[in-house]
Amino acid sequence: MEHIKNIVLIGAGNVATHLGYALEKGGFQIVQVYSRTKAAAQKLADDLYTDFTTDLHSIRKDGDLYIISVRDSAVKNIAEQLQIAPNPVVHTSGSLDLEILKQTSDRRGVFYPLQTFSKSRNTQFKTIPICLEANSEELLAELENMAGKISDHVQRINTERRRILHLAAVFACNFPNFMYTIAEEIVEQGDFNFDILRPLIKETTEKIMINLPIESQTGPAIRNDQNIMNKHLEMLQAYPAYQKLYEMISREIHENSKKGSE
Amino acid sequence: MEHIKNIVLIGAGNVATHLGYALEKGGFQIVQVYSRTKAAAQKLADDLYTDFTTDLHSIRKDGDLYIISVRDSAVKNIAEQLQIAPNPVVHTSGSLDLEILKQTSDRRGVFYPLQTFSKSRNTQFKTIPICLEANSEELLAELENMAGKISDHVQRINTERRRILHLAAVFACNFPNFMYTIAEEIVEQGDFNFDILRPLIKETTEKIMINLPIESQTGPAIRNDQNIMNKHLEMLQAYPAYQKLYEMISREIHENSKKGSE
C-alpha cells in the first residue's frame, strides 16, 4: 500500500473541519470535500483550497483515504452509497463499530479524535488522543503513521474501549458544560454576568489537570452540610428539574465520599 | 477608624490559608491564627511567621480586623464566644448572613471570595471576585480598601445576591468536578488513565472562557441522538445512580435546547 497522501473528506461539520485543517498542516492533501449542504461544503473546500461536491456519486475514486466525518446517525446511509472500494475508508465516530463500513470497502478503520470541536475555535491537535482501529494490520500501521503527523497521542483502541471513552467524554465534557449553563441561568437571577464565574471554573479545571477529581471535590455535598443544601433547594423552587438534579448529584457526591473512606 | 493592618485569622482551613497568604502578600499582618486543631493552627501560623492559639478565649483583643473563616456550621458557635468588640469582624461564607455576627461586634461584615481553594495549590487572588457586605458604610469602605490590595474584582454584594452566587458556584464547580469523577470511574473500566480525558476537559473549559456555555453544548443529548444515548444507558447498567443522572441531565440538555430555539 502506498503512503496516504490524498484524502477525501466526507462531511463539513465541526470534526471534519478541524480534522481537515490539521491534516493539511500535517502535510496531507484534502483533494475533495463532500457535504449535502452546499454552503458548508463550499466553505470548507475554500478554506482548504480544494474542490467540493454535494453529490455522493461525484466523489472522486482516486483518494488514498476516505474519511467519513458526519453525525453518527448519517454514517450508515453514506457508507452504503459510497463507491470507493478497494480504497480504504474510516469514520470518526466514538460509538459506531468498524463493520458499519463493511459495504464500503474491504479496508476499513476508525479514526476517533477524543475532543470537543467548535467551528469558532482553533484546536491544537497535538495533544488530542486519537483512537485508531482497522480491519488489517497494514491499514492500522498506515493510519498510525498518518495520525502521528498531527497528534502525539495516537493509540490503538478497539470498539469496546472506544465506546467507554465516548461515554466518559459525555460526563467529562457535555455534562459539565450543561452544569455551567445552569450556573449561568442562576447568576442571571442576581443580575450577574457569566464573567463572575469564569475564574472559579478555570481554577476548578486547573486543579484536576494535576490532581484527580475525587481528591478535588469541595462544596456543601461533600461536607454533607444539610443546612446549606436545604437552602439551595429552596432557592431552586422555581426550577423543579434543577432542584431534582441538585438533590441527586449531591446525594451521589456524598455516597461516593463514603465509598472512598471505607 | 484606623486603616486595617493587623488581622486575626480564625480558622486554618483552605480558605483561611489562601486568604492569609494573600493578605500577607498584600501588605497586611496576620498577627494570630486560631484553630481548634493544634496542628492546623501551628502549621498556618508557622507559614505566616506568626503566633497561634487553640483557645478562643486567648485570642488577642487588639486586632484591627477578625476574619472568621471556618465551616459554615461552625461560624455561629465561634461568633457567640468571640469577645473582640468593638473591633470589626467578618466571615467568609457564601451562604451565611451578616447578622450571624450580631453578638460578636457592632461592626460586622462579609468577605466572600468566589473561588475553590485547595491547600496543595497556589491561588492567584488577583482574578478572584471578592464579595463584600458590611453593616456600616465606614466598614464597607475599609473592607473595599483591603480587598482591593489582593484582588482586582471587588464588589459590594448583599446577602441575597451572594447566596445566588454561592448556589451558582455549586453548579459551576462542585458538580462539574463530580462529573469528572464519574468520567474517571468510567475510563477505569476500559483500563485507561484519567490523563486521556484531560485535553478534552481543558478544551471544554477554554471554550467557555470565550463563549457562553449554552453556545458550547455538544454531544448526543443536544443532537437528541437516541441511539447513542440508549447505548450509553445500557453501558451504565452496573451503575444505576449514574444511569439515572445520565438520563436526567440528557433530558434537560434537550429541553433546554428547545427553549433556546423557541
Q: Nearest residue of A to residue B128 by CA position?
A: A199
- Which residue in the set B118, B182, B191 is minimally distant from A171, CB to CB? B182
User: Is B126 exposed, middle or buried, given 0-12, 13-18 or 19+ CB atoms closer than 10 A?
Assistant: exposed
- From chain A, pick out residues whose CB is under 8 angstroms from the CB of B253: 174, 178
Quick one: DSSP state of residue B2? P
CA distance A203 to chain B (A): 7
CA distance A7 to A29: 6
- Name residue B37's amino acid: T
Q: Where are the alpha helices (DSSP H) in B52-119?
A: 72-81
A243 in contact with B at a CB cutoff of 8 Å?
no
Burial A134-152 (b: 16+ CB within 10 A, else e): bbeeebeebbeebbeebbe
B76 in A contact zone (CB under 8 Å)? no
Candidates B187, B201, B125; CA nearest to A209 is B201
**Closest-CA residue of chain A to B129:** A196
Q: Are B205 and A201 a contacting pair, CB within 8 Å?
A: yes
- In chain B, count of helices (H) and strands (E)? 11, 8
- Model pLDDT, residue A8: 98
The rounded distance, in Å, linking the Cα atoms of A190 and A187 is: 5
**pLDDT tens for the 262 residues of chain A, in order:** 568 999 999 999 999 999 999 999 999 999 999 999 999 999 999 999 999 999 999 999 999 999 999 999 999 999 999 999 999 999 999 999 999 999 999 999 999 999 998 877 777 899 999 999 999 999 999 999 999 999 999 999 999 999 999 999 999 999 999 999 999 999 999 999 999 999 999 999 999 999 999 999 999 999 999 999 999 999 999 999 999 999 999 999 999 988 755 4
DSSP for A43-87, written as a single string: HHHHHTT-EEES-GGGS-S--SEEEE-S-HHHHHHHHHH---TTS
Note the pLDDT tens digit of each residue in A108-162: 999 999 999 887 777 789 999 999 999 999 999 999 999 999 999 999 999 999 9
Question: What is the per-residue pLDDT for A262?
Answer: 46
**DSSP classification of residue A218:** -
Cis preceding-peptide flag for B176 (omega within 30 of 0): no
The predicted structure's pLDDT at residue B261: 52
Query: Which tens digits make up the pLDDT trace of B112-139?
Result: 999 998 877 777 899 999 999 999 999 9
Determine the pLDDT at residue B90. Answer: 98
Which is nearest to A133 in space by CA: A185, A178, A173, A95? Answer: A95
Q: Could you tell me which of A98, A80, A72, A177 has the C-alpha nearest to residue B225?
A: A72
The verdict on B209 touching A (C-beta cutoff 8 Å) is yes
- Nearest chain B residue to A226 by CA distance is B73
Instruction: Output the CA angle B175-A208-B231, nearest 5 degrees.
Output: 60
Which segments of chain B have a pLDDT < 50? Answer: 262
C-alpha cell at A184: 449561568
Chain A: nearest CA to B2, how far in angstroms?
A: 31
Q: Which of A114, A178, A200 sits opposite B252 (nearest CB)?
A: A178
User: In sequence order, what are the residues at sequence separation of 6 or more whose Cβ sits closer than 8 angstroms to the Cβ of residue B262?
Assistant: none
Cα–Cα distance, B71 to B176 (Å, whole number): 22
A 149-168 → B contacts, CB under 8 A: 153, 160-161, 163-168
Q: Report the C-alpha gap between A152 and A162 in whole angstroms.
A: 18
Contact, B45 vs B51, CB < 8 A?
Answer: yes
Instruction: Say which residue the cell 437528541 belongs to.
Output: B224
Backbone angles phi, psi at B60, to 5 degrees: -65, 155
> What global pTM score does this model have?
0.93
B163 class by beta-carbon count within 10 Å (0-12 exposed, 13-18 middle, 19+ buried)? buried
Angstroms from B91 CA to nearest CA on chain A: 16
Give which of A113, A132, A131, A133 is closest to A123, Cα–Cα.
Answer: A113
Chain B hits for A184, CB-CB cut-off 8 Å, are 168, 212-214
Here the ipTM equals 0.94
Name residues 94-153 of chain B within 8 A of A (Cβ).
95, 114-118, 120-121, 123, 127-129, 153
Extract the C-alpha cell encoding B129.
471576585
Which residues on chain B are in Cβ contact (under 8 Å) with A220? 170, 174
Q: Cβ of B218 and A118 within 8 Å?
A: yes
Nearest chain A Cα to B155, which residue?
A196
Are B176 and A117 a contacting pair at CB < 8 A? no
Element (H, E) at A113: strand A108-113
CA dist A262 and A245 (Å) reads 26
Record: contact A171-B183, CB cut-off 8 A: yes
Which residue from A128, A122, A260 is spatially nearest to B201, judged by alpha carbons?
A128
Per-residue buried b or exposed e for B51-84, using 16+ beta carbons within 10 Å of the residue's own CB: bbbbeeeebeeebbbbbbbbebeebeebbeebeb
Contact residues, chain A, for B184 at CB < 8 Å:
168, 212-214
Taking CA–CA distances from A188, the nearest residue in chain B reads: B164
Please state, in angstroms and rounded to a whole number, the distance separating the CA atoms of residues A46 and B41. Answer: 64
CB B141 within 8 A of CB B165: no
Q: Please answer yes or no on whether A205 and B210 come within 8 Å at the CB atom.
A: no
B200 to A116: CB separation less than 8 angstroms, yes or no: yes
Within 8 A by CB and 6+ apart from B90, the residues are B65, B66, B67, B68, B101, B108, B109, B110, B111, B134, B143
Q: Using CB atoms, pick whichever of B178, B213, B222 lies closest to residue A252.
A: B178
Q: Is A200 on the interface with B (CB under 8 A)?
A: yes
Note whether A216 contacts B: Cβ–Cβ < 8 A. yes
The pLDDT of residue B258 is 84
The DSSP letter of residue A99 is G
Residues 6+ apart with CB under 8 A from B104: B66, B79, B80, B82, B84, B85, B89
CA-based nearest residue to A67, from A118, A123, A29: A29
With an 8 Å Cβ cutoff, is A230 touching chain B?
A: no
Cα B213 to Cα A116: distance, rounded to the nearest angstrom:
13
